[in-house]
Amino acid sequence: MESAYVLAIKELEEIRNENKRILEYRKMETGSVAPRIPEIDVELMKSGAELLKTVLDKSRNFDDVKKNIEKLQAEKIRLLKDNGFPEDYLEDIHSCPKCKDTGFVLGHRCDCLKSLVAKYIGANANLSEYMKNQTFENFDFSLFEETTVDGKTVPVLKIMQKAVQICMDFAEGFDREKSNMILSGNAGTGKTFLSSCIANRALERGKTVYYTSAYKLFETLEALKFGKETGEDAEEIAKYIYEVDLLIIDDLGTEFTTQFTSAVFFDIINSRLVSGKSTLISTNLDLEGINNLYSQRITSRIMGDYKAITLYGNDIRPKVKNK
């Protein structure tokens, strides 16, 4: 399989070729109605060369040649209009005016190239088929009921209704509000389901989303760092996690923590905060657990800049499976 970047560059090439084909067709089309137009094009090409000569050897007057070019261009536009074509009908066609379909602006990747790479990396945000169906519309509140924890009654349904509302608001406005969220709770309390709901809503809104488990994320980054065998897209993923509108790190706490993962986790969290990109973390751990696993500086970032939601209740997964 080819890397997402190679595929994106190939798609840009196809876009350029397609636009060239359209332009060639337009030349034929206009030339058959107004045969003077292709003649003008030949004269324009000659005059362009002459203009260059006047700069070099001053054999002809620069202004004369320039005037002639302007006259030819005006004639061409008039012929196009007279025959019912738009006046820019024969100009180069670009699907992305910013980079003229080259993929780069001043040496940096253009947004169109970034979104093509994203398309090939995530192929829809890296969500599994199963997760694509987990939406707010499909949310089943009947799975949640009151339960007792340490002898106290916990209104699980109420907590879930509130949590869903907060998650919906987050999905609708994380980019404008530059907000972040951490969902914590025991296994099976609905964290991954809610993360999928948020991802799907954000995708519907046209945002870019990348979903990954903490385990997979750090495994990829570590392999890349230490030159181990990685998938074709590891390098692109390593860049993309800094650029994507919403990064979802699922199941934090299930990964092996090393000095490297700790440093890279802080860098991801911190860089995304600085650049105003939103992150959603789900975890079985509470803040103390995260603190034990990672450094104080990570917990303080999360405490300071993340909305925290804690989900309660018994494992709903057996119920989901029985449905």
Residues that bind Zn ion (rule: CB under 5 A) add up to a total of: 5
Tell the smallest beta-carbon distance from residue 10 to Zn ion (Å).
Answer: 15
Contact 130, 138 (CB under 8 A): no
Tell the smallest beta-carbon distance from residue 177 to Zn ion (Å).
Answer: 28
Q: Which C-beta is closer to Zn ion: that of 100 or that of 132?
A: 100
Tell the smallest beta-carbon distance from residue 68 to Zn ion (Å).
Answer: 35
Binding mask 248-267 for Zn ion (x = CB under 5 A): --------------------
| Residue 110 binds Zn ion (CB under 5 A) | yes
Contact 192, 316 (CB under 8 A): no
Q: Which C-beta is closer to Zn ion: that of 14 or that of 146?
A: 14
CA 45 to chain centre: 42
Enumerate the β-bridge partners of residue 184: 283, 310
| Residue 98 binds Zn ion (CB under 5 A) | yes
Burial group, residue 311, by CB count within 10 angstroms (0-12, 13-18, 19+)? buried
Measured CA to CA, the distance from residue 110 to residue 148 in angstroms comes to 54
Only segment of 20-28, 108-116, 244-252, 305-313 that touches Zn ion (CB under 5 A):
108-116
Only segment of 99-107, 148-156, 244-252, 269-277 that touches Zn ion (CB under 5 A):
99-107
Work out which of 6, 72, 96, 157 binds Zn ion, going by CB under 5 A: 96
Tell the smallest beta-carbon distance from residue 99 to Zn ion (Å).
Answer: 3
Tell the smallest beta-carbon distance from residue 241 to Zn ion (Å).
Answer: 22
| Residue 15 binds Zn ion (CB under 5 A) | no
Tell the smallest beta-carbon distance from residue 111 to Zn ion (Å).
Answer: 6
Q: Which C-beta is closer to Zn ion: that of 116 or that of 197?
A: 116
Question: Looking only at residues 111 through 130 of this chain, which bind Zn ion when binding is defined by CB under 5 A?
Answer: 112
Q: Which amino acid is at 92?
A: D
Overall size of the chain counted in residues: 323
| Residue 99 binds Zn ion (CB under 5 A) | yes
| Residue 33 binds Zn ion (CB under 5 A) | no
Measured CA to CA, the distance from residue 277 to residue 83 in angstroms comes to 51
- DSSP label of 258: -
Measured CA to CA, the distance from residue 240 to residue 139 in angstroms comes to 30
Q: Which C-beta is closer to Zn ion: that of 96 or that of 143?
A: 96
Tell the smallest beta-carbon distance from residue 94 to Zn ion (Å).
Answer: 8
E strand or H helix at 218, and its extent? helix 214-225
Only segment of 56-64, 91-99, 123-131, 250-258 that touches Zn ion (CB under 5 A):
91-99
| Residue 93 binds Zn ion (CB under 5 A) | no
Only segment of 28-36, 51-59, 90-98, 128-136 that touches Zn ion (CB under 5 A):
90-98
- DSSP label of 256: P
252 C-beta neighbours (distance < 10 Å), count:
25
Tell the smallest beta-carbon distance from residue 112 to Zn ion (Å).
Answer: 3
**C-alpha closest to that of 200 among 275, 257, 136:** 136
Binding mask 38-77 for Zn ion (x = CB under 5 A): ----------------------------------------
Rg of the Cα trace of the chain? 29
Q: Which C-beta is closer to Zn ion: that of 8 or that of 99?
A: 99
Measured CA to CA, the distance from residue 320 to residue 311 in angstroms comes to 17
186 C-beta neighbours (distance < 10 Å), count:
13
Measured CA to CA, the distance from residue 23 to residue 41 in angstroms comes to 14
| Cβ partners under 8 Å of residue 153, min gap 6 | 146, 147
Residues that bind Zn ion (CB under 5 A): 96, 98-99, 110, 112
